[in-house]
Structure 1
Amino acid sequence: MNFILASLIALGALLDLVLGVSFLVDPALAGVDFGLTATGAMGLSAMRGDFTAFFLVSAIFMGWGAWKRRGDVLLPALMLFAIAFTGRLVNLFVVGTYDGWWQPMTVEALHIAVLAFAMLQWRGNPA
């Protein structure tokens, strides 16, 4: 079970690493998948800085937590995805749906579920 859980988290970390690097290298192209367009240098800077930070911090803590099988290390990534999911949920109620609205929420919900489960499994001494 621990190997499967660590593997799932490592796969999520790899996804987040790829997303983070893609926002760092080419934020305009990476933003298209998120429905974002940058208007000038300021917009590109915000996308490059904020999205890179979100995904790379998640990837680093998820990778570290999976490697060491330490649930406490997963907390920053769990908080990032829980807040992102909550923001999307608020938007769903305030603005309504859009094409494909459920896809990013599903990815975030999976991150949350796997990370929360791992935190419960790996609390205390690592397995």
Structure 2
Amino acid sequence: MKLVLRIVLGLAGLVFVVMGLAFWANPATPAARLGIEAASALGTSSLRADMAAFFGVAGGLTLLAAVRANARLLTAPLLMIAIALTGRIITVIVDGYTPDMMQPMVIEAILLALLAAGRRLI
């Protein structure tokens, strides 16, 4: 069970690292998939900086935790995903729900459960 969890977390971490690198390479494409658009060069710079940082750090730490079997390394990604999901829930409460919001919320909820399990078990 621990090995399977480590493999799943490692794959999730790798996907996040790739997403972070995609924001560096061509920020408009991954941003569009997330419903985000840069209004200016400052926006493009913010996508490269902030989104790459979020995905890169969360993914890098998750991948490293899986490789080293070090549960403590999952604390930061766990908090990052929890805060992201909380932000989405606040958006639903304040602005209302639209169907396109469901997929990222489900992904974040699954990641949150995996990270919590990893934090406890590996």
TM-score normalized by structure 2?
0.96
Q: Distance in 1 between matches of 2:95 and 2:29?
A: 25
Q: Does 1:105 align with 2:86?
A: no
Tell me the equivalent position of 2:59.
59
Structure 1, unaligned stretches of length 5 or more? 123-127
Q: Distance in 2 between matches of 1:23 and 1:71?
A: 27
* 2:104 aligned partner, one-letter code: P
- The offset of 1:99, in angstroms, is 3.2
- The SS at the match of 1:101 is helix
* 1:5 aligned partner, one-letter code: L
Deviation digits for residues 30-64 of structure 1 (CA, Å, limit 9, x no counterpart): 11001111011000001110000000001110011
Higher helix share: 2
Tell me the equivalent position of 1:87.
87
Identity rate of aligned residues, in percent?
32
Q: Does 1:118 align with 2:118?
A: yes
* 1:38 aligned partner, one-letter code: A
* 1:107 aligned partner, one-letter code: I
Q: Distance in 1 between matches of 2:98 and 2:23?
A: 23
Worse-superposed segment, 21-30 or 49-58: 21-30
TM-score normalized by structure 1?
0.93
- The offset of 1:100, in angstroms, is 1.6
Worse-superposed segment, 97-106 or 51-60: 97-106
- The SS at the match of 1:35 is coil
Contact 2:62–2:73 (8 Å) recurs in 1? yes
Q: Distance in 1 between matches of 2:10 and 2:47?
A: 24
Q: What do you get for the CA RMSD once the two structures are aligned? A: 0.8
Structure 2, unaligned stretches of length 5 or more? none
* 2:26 aligned partner, one-letter code: D
* Dislocated runs of 4+, deviation >2 Å: none
* 2:100 aligned partner, one-letter code: G
